[in-house]
A and B are shown apart, each in its own frame.
Chain A
């Protein structure tokens, strides 16, 4: 039997097996942001440790940064946010780490910046103090989130103590129907396998649906692995991957490019690779999904009604009941037609160029419904500039969207962009947890950028396929 990508990449980065049975794993790429790193830098300073591989760590600021030009003037009005920004500037400067700064116009969400600069490459091990690090798996890398103590481990040793995961291949066969996007694919596998179905596994996403996807779509699919409990998810590298990387700032050039491609081909899963589990999901069965509850698995197709708690097993029923209570929805009601207050397009899940292109096509020449607050927040300044160069920002502004600077924004609302009270947000982000979008009582409905665009125009959850008819 052949080997899968996970095994190949893990093996070439294993330094040695530790007495605990875990492996000391070399981390090829370390991404850092302002929220989970200041304590890690303090730890290595206190222990008087150095950073042996400073050119394998890259940093940016995303969670706390405001997304309007006025609010970004330094010092930031929020003194705590300013302090965090000052810390990452000083920490990266002290240790010789490349910082993608707002002032130079190269800042963005950490999981958008790495890929768009060509820093994220196939065959790497990638860690970041952020659970959505799984995004980078789209390139055929093993990429996973870590805590702050582990950020200090990577800074000071370039390694982590890690257990080997099992590998589950999720094969999406056939084709997606019109109006169904990568976000729906992500919500589909979480719906099928549950929010903890992936614990102990890496997910390998495969099949015709994945092979036909762009890199941006693959990133959306991998991004939400962690929402299904899988710490990392990946796609085998192919011609689409190589075409995306070619000529990016940090991609290998000249002879090194040729050597890199040969190496990247070799780390893809073998045709006869072994898996611990294989799951097949027909692409035709995937609908535009909308979450209705407080976990990303609590979703229905846009044409469906909300499930009865009786449909769930005993231990799941409690979370379903809790979700109905928090969301103030009723079993049996249609998800379509639920009024929304806020529409958010952005985040590491859906904040890339194609996400805004898709939404722009739907809203072009139309207006956001009365009373709806609609935010378009590019995932990086590079994404923002690319869209503005083509006038796509104007489509959003003319439709009534606020066109913002780059950041995590209302995905987790650590900056000024927050829900108020019991507001309902149609959101392209990744988590519908209680209070996630900045109001302890706020409500989040996760969906694709196309579906958020449809909600913005109609003021309620709407089937995008009907809206564009």
Chain B
């Protein structure tokens, strides 16, 4: 597998305000009826988009202002619920390369690491500041630095965080863990041999 180091992500932002935005909302279950991830980008937030449309409002994912955005910003517990990798796959296929939120569900966070999408966290105040900045500057690029765990908003540098492990994986290109896991297969067999249920019970 090719090693791709992710040191920084830059691009415009898209503000998706709210807590507890679950993966059913990111990609409704009916779009999981497929044996590939193809085409999911077009359906990201589909039901939220339709619900806002019906009220005469527009979801950030359909707002021209934010077209082409690479950084999604949301509040707490983003990506909770179902383990469906279809959720980060759909965001990624829409164009999202990094996320900033107050917190994430663990399964969603892990899925994003596997796909090379850094998920930064920031305090409520900092996230609100970033959301406000994007809304005021929808066409301006922000720069996310993985090593420094910061976001640069036109010269204003704000501190974010990223778990040390994930940060290291992006920086050394091992965010897709499979190559490392495969390298230890002999050792895996050794550990399995110490566990009676791998052999004894069947």
Contacts and interface: CB of A to CB of B under 8 A. Distances in A.
A41 B181 CA distance: 17
Interface in B170-189: 172, 174, 176-178, 180-182, 184-185, 187-189
Contacts of A36: 83-85
Interface residues of B, number: 71
Interface stretch (A194-202, A279-287, A368-376, A385-393): A194-202
A333 interface: no
A16 interface: yes
A146 B197 contact: no
B106 A231 contact: yes
A150 B50 contact: no
Interface string A137-176: 0000000111111101100111111010000000000000
A252 interface: yes
A203 B38 CA distance: 36
A150 B114 contact: yes
Contacts of A378: none
Interface string B105-130: 11100110011000000001000000
B189 to A, nearest CB: 8
A147 B19 contact: no
A316 B198 CA distance: 46
A292 to B, nearest CB: 15
A433 B115 CA distance: 25
Given A84-B35, A159-B188, A24 B180 contact: yes
A16 B187 contact: yes
Contact of B181 (A63, A159, A414, A438): A159
Interface string A301-320: 00000000000000110110
B163 interface: yes
A43 B155 CA distance: 41
Interface string B122-162: 00100000000000000000000000000000000000000
Contact of A434 (B19, B25, B182): B25
Contacts of A38: 35-36
B28 interface: yes
15 contacts: A15-B188, A24-B184, A28-B195, A84-B33, A156-B178, A196-B103, A229-B106, A231-B106, A256-B200, A315-B124, A318-B75, A412-B29, A435-B24, A440-B28, A440-B51
